[in-house]
Structure 1
Amino acid sequence: MPLAVLVLILSIAFAASPLLVPGFGGFDPNQFPIPQDSPPVQPAGYAFSIWGLIYLWLIASALFGLKRAAEWTAMRPALAVSLAIGATWLPVAMLSPIWAAILIWAMLVTALIALVRAPMIDKPWAAWPIGLYTGWLSAASCVSLGLLAAGYGWMSQQTAAYVFVGLAILLAMVVQSLLNRTPTYGLTVIWALIAVAVHNWDSATTGVAWLALIGAVAMVLPMVRSARV
C-alpha cells in the first residue's frame, strides 16, 4: 500500500476514534489515586474544540498529498506512526492515564519528526496542518504529566500547574524558534495557553493564569517570525 494512502486511512481512523468512546470529556477525576477535579494545569473546556479543525485539516492534507508522492515522502513515515498511535489514544485514556501519557508523548515525538521533515512547498496542505496538530500535542503532553504529578501525589495541583505549564511554554518556544517556520504550531500553543489562563482566572490559582498569559505573549514573536518564512 502506498504510504500516501496509508496516511489518508490513518487520518480518517484518527478522526473517527472519538466514535469508539462517545461522550469522552477528559479523564475521570477518580482515575487518579488523588482525584483531579478541575485541575489548574488543564485548559478550559472550549479549547478542545480545536480537535475538529485538526481532524479535518489532517484529512484534507492527506487527500491533497495523494498528488504529492515524492515531495512529501520524508514526513510520511513519522506522521503515519503518530496517527496510528492517535487512533488508539482515546480507548487507552479511558483505562489508564499513565499509558495515555506515554502514548501522547510518543504521538508528539513522531509528529515533531514529521513537522521537521515537512516540505517547504504546499505549506497550507503539508506543514501547517501538522503544525496545528503538533502544537496541540505539545500542550497536551505537558498537561498529561501535570495530571499524573498531582494525581499521584508527587506535587500539589498548583505546583504541578506551574511546573508543567512552564514546561509547555519552554518546549513550544524552543520548537518554534528552532523550526522558524510553520506559524500554526505557535498559534495552537497560544490557543492552549490562553485557555489555561481562562480556566484559572478569578481563582486561587490566578498565578497559573498569569504564567500562561505571559507564555502566550512570549510565543507571539517567534510565531510571527515563522510566518515570514
Structure 2
Amino acid sequence: MTAMHGWRKTMNIAGLLLVLIVNTLAQVLPINGVTTGEISDRHHTYVTPAGYVFTIWSVIYLGLIGFVIYQARKDTGNRPAVERISYWFVVSCLLNSAWIFLWHYEKIGWSTLVMAALLLTLIAIYQRIRYGRESRAIGEYSFVQVPFSLYLGWICVASIVNVTVWLQDLGWNGWGIDSRMWAVILLTAAGVLAVAFSYGKKDVPFALVFVWAFIGIGVEQQADTWVRNAAWSLAAIVGAATLWLLAKVIRDRKRWDQSYISR
C-alpha cells in the first residue's frame, strides 16, 4: 500500500467521523439550541415528509461505516471502484457537516447551495463507482454500491425539500400556481426521476429511497387530499416498478452466472 493510498483511507475515516460527530451534536447539544427536526418543523412545506422518514440517515450512516471499513482493508481498499472515489468522499463529508451548521442557524439560501454541491459530489462518486463495473463481488456491491445509492437517492429527495423551503422562505408566489399543485408537480418529477434513473442503472436501492420518502410525505400531508393522494399513488407506482426491476436484475444475474459457468 502506497503512502498516498494510506493517507486517502485515513482521510475517509476522519471525514466520516466528522459527519457522525456533527450530526450527533446537532441532536444532543443541540447546535444553536434547536434540533434538525425542529428547524424542519419551522419551515414546513407540502413536500416535507413525516419525522420518522429521516431515520433513513441511520441506514445511510451504517452503510458508510461499512464503506470506510471496506476501503481501509488491505484486500479490498485498492479495488478500482474504491480508488476512483478518491477524495470525493472527504468532500461529501465536509459538505454534509457544513450543511448541518447552515441549517441550524437557518441560513436557508446557503444551505440550499451546499445541498446542491453535496448532490453534485455524490453524482461524481456514483459515476466513478459505476464506471466499468469490473466487479460483481457481493462485498463491493454491499459496501460500496448500496451505501452510495441510498445516499444519492436521499440527497435527491432532500434537495427537493431544501429548494422548496428556500423558495417559501423567499416568499416566492409560484408564478400564481397554487403551492399544493407545485408539490404534486415536484413529486411527480421525483417519481419519474426515480424510475428512469433506477431502470437506467438497474439500481433498486436508489428507487426504494423514493418509495420510502413518498410514503412518508403521504403520512405527513394527511390533511391535504391532493398531495396525500399524489404521494401515495407515486409510492405505489414506483414501488411496483421497483419490484419489477428487482425481478429483472435477479433474472439477469442468473443468466450472467450461467453464462460464466458454461465458459
Give secondary structure in 2 for the equivalent of 1:184: helix
Distance 1:179 1:198 in 2: 29
1:81 to 88, 91, 97: 91
Are residue 194 (structure 1) and residue 215 (structure 2) matched? yes
Higher Cα Rg, which structure: 2
**CA separation of 1:75 and 1:174: change in aligned 2, threshold 3 A:** farther
Give, in angstroms, the shift of residue 198 of structure 1.
0.7
Secondary structure (helix, strand or coil) at the match of 1:43 reads coil
TM-fit CA distance, 1:110 = 1.2
Bigger mean CA deviation after superposition, 61-70 or 125-134: 61-70
SS, match of residue 86 in structure 1: helix
| TM-score normalised by structure 1 residue count | 0.85
Following TM superposition, by how much is the alpha carbon of 1:167 offset from its aligned partner in structure 2, in angstroms?
A: 3.1
Residue correspondences, number: 220
* SS at structure 2 position matched to 1:42: coil
Measure, in 2, the Cα distance between the counterparts of 1:215 and 1:223: 12
1:220 equivalent among 199, 219, 239: 239
Q: What is the aligned partner in structure 2 of residue 211 from structure 1?
A: 230
The residue type equivalent to 1:117 in the other structure is R
Deviation at 1:18, TM superposition (A): 1.9
Q: Say if 1:15 and 1:175 are closer, same or farther in 2 by CA, change over 3 A.
A: farther
- Distance in 1 between residues matched to 2:46 and 2:242, nearest whole Å: 25
Alpha-carbon contact 1:18-1:90 (below 8 Å) kept: yes
Measure, in 2, the Cα distance between the counterparts of 1:152 and 1:173.
31
Task: Give the stretch that moved more between structures: 43-52 or 117-126.
Answer: 117-126
RMSD of Structure 2 on Structure 1 (CA): 2.2
In structure 1, list runs of 5 or more residues that go unmatched: 31-35
How far the C-alpha of 1:26 sits from its partner, in A, is: 4.6
1:137-162: per-residue Cα shift (whole Å, max 9, x none)? 11110111112222322235424422
1:185 aligns with one of 199, 206, 225: 206
Say if 1:150 and 1:160, in contact at 8 Å, map to a contact too. no
In structure 2, how many angstroms separate the alpha carbons of the residues matched to 1:87 and 1:20?
Answer: 11
> Do 1:20 and 1:91's aligned partners in 2 also have CA atoms closer than 8 Å?
no
Cα distance in 2, alignment partners of residues 29 and 151 from structure 1: 13
Of 155-164 and 69-78, deviating more is: 155-164
Q: Tell me if the contact between 1:180 and 1:222 (Cα under 8 Å) persists in the aligned partners.
A: no
What percentage of residue pairs aligned between the two structures are identical?
21
Counterpart in the other structure of 2:152: 134
1:2 Cα deviation from its structure 2 partner: 2.5
The equivalent position to 1:53 in structure 2, one of 59, 62, 72, is 59
Is 1:6 the counterpart of 2:6? The answer is no
CA 1:28–1:124: 2 relative to 1, 3 Å: closer
Q: Which runs of 5+ in 2 are unaligned?
A: 1-5, 254-263
Determine which structure has the larger helix proportion and give its number.
Answer: 2
